[in-house]
Structure 1
Amino acid sequence: MARIRSIKPSFWGDERVSQLSRDARLLFIGLWSFSDDAGRFLASHQAIAGYVFPNDEDVTPKKLSAWLDEIAQQGMVILYSNGRVKYGAVPKWRKHQKISHPQPSSLPGPPPDALFDE
């Protein structure tokens, strides 16, 4: 289900955002609408590519993995797994997204040792 999310004007000049490639920036913005109300998302290549890049045949698992790694290296997402399923979460999600009627997440949260502010 599509979600309405906000992009603050300061996003474009953010120091961490400026370190990302253009494609990684686009992916990061796409992950906002892909994420649930707790800022969590399935981090499989198929799920992300199907949602964020449904009409881009040149988005390979290798490219997507590199973009996700860029975003994670900047601390803008946390990638984790629960068994064989890969997940991601956006730290400080609630600081940047105001959800009027948040629904509880059905996805497991990041590990307790992850730097994460729900």
Structure 2
Amino acid sequence: MSRSARPRRHRIRTLLTPAFDNLPSRAYLVLVAAAIGVFLHAAYVTRDTSFAGMWPVLVTAPLGILALPLPALVWDTPLEWFGPVLLTAAATAAGLANAVMLGRLAGTLRRQA
């Protein structure tokens, strides 16, 4: 591994540490994973996505709301199957960002107590 890859990996690890080093953030990530799992089951197994897409968006709000227009990019195209993948990727990124913010808040409150 090159020397330039190590500092980058360390920066990413440092940035994401608050998302995994406390109980509230971990519980939130489990909730996000469950919502995404329900959505993917509805999208690919039961083929009924009428309200399934709202769960990942609501659980990852406010950042998850930015994911709403993404599936519209592939409507009425041969890549229509890719819409749930786009929504899943955006909801995952939003959930991870929210977990980092929640972890930083928990760390701040822990230090103040």
Normalised to the residue count of structure 1, the TM-score between the two structures is: 0.24
Asked which structure has the greater RCO (Cα within 8 Å, sep 6+), the reply is 2
**Bigger share in strand:** 1
Q: So what's the TM-score if we normalise by structure 2? A: 0.25
